[in-house]
Structure 1
């Protein structure tokens, strides 16, 4: 026979209240696993496949005269939409894990490149260069761009590391400091 229960949550925990009079006399037992709770008590059973993982060491249970309260410590502060996984969710997760994520990301990048125009395309190009570069190139890009007020973008760390990058305004314009 299954047990009736209710649950609520806070940012840090999930509390499951299992309705069971005289739980101690009925030899209740609770087993808490990272994503599963299993409770038994003289002919009664409750198995919950939790939606999100919990921290077993910080979780507990306590029997009262009319109920058993199971307190589960959340692994992350995520709000749970439901207490348990649905069968479809379990299947969907298994299907998702079988995907080739590298191929999916490269397909997405190709779509983004085709759709981008003008300044968006230029920003896309800079993002691609930055994300696929070595740490030295990334440092050079950050330093040159920030020190020049956004007028210079260099990928040569040997050149940029030696001195402060000067402002080089576009042709036909002049640079003025805002406070002068």
Structure 2
């Protein structure tokens, strides 16, 4: 059996082998890939490369039959230059018998579903209604609380609430008519605040 002329060039990821066998019939060409072995035969020509200088990915390696040459593409399992087709150089993957080529894994950070989290938390805690806790749900709950208080109050209590609220500029709300009815209710701004009357 004759050995056909061949040559190669390589990158860190791949090695391309050209086998010069002019007029080769694609149906009669036989090629086999193994991790450290390559075999080619056609008619009375054959080429066996063993052991390959590095390990190849059999699934990703391929070949095409042209009019002048057969082009074989080896996909390297580990990046780097071989410098030769065959040789007993230590297999860079020998230390990783259970692993395929070392790969860089990009971990995608999962985005939090804040709407779902909020819904879950709100579902766990029963919201207090206005009459249970006037601070429970902000202004709406406070308004509900005072509306209910006003609706259930007697006439004197209602008058005390209206008079104290309006005369104090909204800073005081009293239900005690005996106290409120004695005179004008003073403005009592929160501590650290200053009351200013805006000109109309």
TM-score normalised over the length of structure 1: 0.46
Whichever structure has more helix as a proportion of its residues is 1
Larger radius of gyration: 2
Higher relative contact order (CA 8 A, sep 6+): 1
TM-score normalised over the length of structure 2: 0.42
